[in-house]
């Protein structure tokens, strides 16, 4: 099931679809894209949080629509996308930001149900969204996808086998999709944030006993990641395709 909410607003000529738009990072991405002239199609499983993001978008002078759906549910996503396409300008940017961290546990005792839940949101959800949006981009010959991965896509992290495996998969999916869409003039890139200030890192720290970020650089702010998303969404990045853009304050250098 999906729940679409559209308010009277002045749409621009192009839309960006942001999944996980009700969270801190998704909200920062949406607000940054508004500054660059994008109208917003906002998806989140949490309707109240998504509505709050839409309110902030409108306060910033932007236009948007929200819908509530599980991004891993292809049927619900398809219904919501069809509704959004009837009221919003063409979707030229997809930001696959929706993600969950799962739990912290040794690999030998990591719950399979938790693993499946993480995989469904983080990997299947990204694929569902791309399968929904890319055909329209291909028909129009214009568009780009930005997948929010993590530095966990290029390293291991103790106790986070579900999350780490999912982010490795998101990066692989990004690189493969980039090759698939390149002949159509489209781009697919990934942003690999290090630890970002917000609810997710707080939950991971709590589960890991406060040692998750031992040796890490300072926390990034959501706006730091949003700036990279905005760049990859712009024409300035027209020759960047299949890239893994690390934004981590040098925490993966050593």
Which residues, in sequence order, are bridge partners of residue 67? Answer: 4, 43
> 197, 204, 173: which is closest to 103 by C-alpha?
204
Tokens of 19: 């999944």
Q: Decide if 85 contacts 143 (C-beta within 8 A).
A: no
Return d(Cα 195, Cα 22) in angstroms, integer.
19
Q: Does the CA dihedral 129-224-104-244 come out positive or negative? A: positive
| Cα angle: 133, vertex 134, 139; to 5 degrees | 110
CA angle 70, 74, 75 (to 5 degrees): 95
102 vs 44, 142, 160, 162, 238, CA distance in Å?
17, 35, 8, 7, 35
For residues 177 and 179, what is the distance between their CA atoms, to the nearest angstrom? 5
Query: Annotated catalytic sites, by residue?
Result: 163
d(CA 245, CA 104) in angstroms, rounded, equals 26
Secondary structure E strands in the chain: 3-6, 15-19, 39-44, 64-68, 91-96, 144-148, 187-193, 244-247
């Amino acid at each position: 099931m999906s729940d679409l909410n559209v308010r009277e607003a002045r749409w621009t000529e192009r839309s960006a679809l942001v999944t996980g738009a009700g969270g801190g990072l998704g909200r920062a991405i949406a607000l940054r894209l508004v500054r660059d002239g994008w109208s917003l199609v906002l998806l989140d499983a949490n309707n109240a949080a998504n509505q709050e993001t839409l309110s902030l978008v409108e306060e910033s002078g932007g236009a948007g629509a929200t819908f509530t759906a599980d991004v891993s549910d292809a049927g619900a996503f398809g219904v919501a996308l069809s509704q959004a396409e009837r009221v919003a300008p063409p979707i030229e940017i997809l930001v696959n930001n929706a993600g969950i961290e799962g739990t912290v546990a040794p690999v030998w005792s990591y719950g399979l149900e938790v693993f499946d839940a993480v995989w469904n949101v983080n990997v299947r959800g990204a694929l569902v969204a791309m399968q929904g949006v890319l055909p329209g981009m291909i028909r129009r010959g214009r568009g780009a996808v930005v997948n929010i991965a993590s530095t966990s896509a290029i390293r291991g992290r103790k106790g986070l086998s579900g999350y780490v495996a999912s982010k490795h998969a998101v990066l692989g999916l990004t690189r493969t999709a980039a090759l698939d869409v390149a002949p159509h003039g489209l781009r697919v890139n990934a942003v690999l944030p290090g630890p970002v200030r917000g609810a997710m890192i707080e939950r991971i720290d709590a589960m890991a006993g406060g040692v998750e970020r031992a040796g890490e650089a300072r926390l990034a702010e959501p706006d730091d990641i949003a700036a990279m998303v905005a760049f990859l969404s712009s024409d300035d990045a027209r020759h960047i395709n299949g890239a893994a853009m690390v934004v981590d304050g040098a925490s993966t250098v050593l």
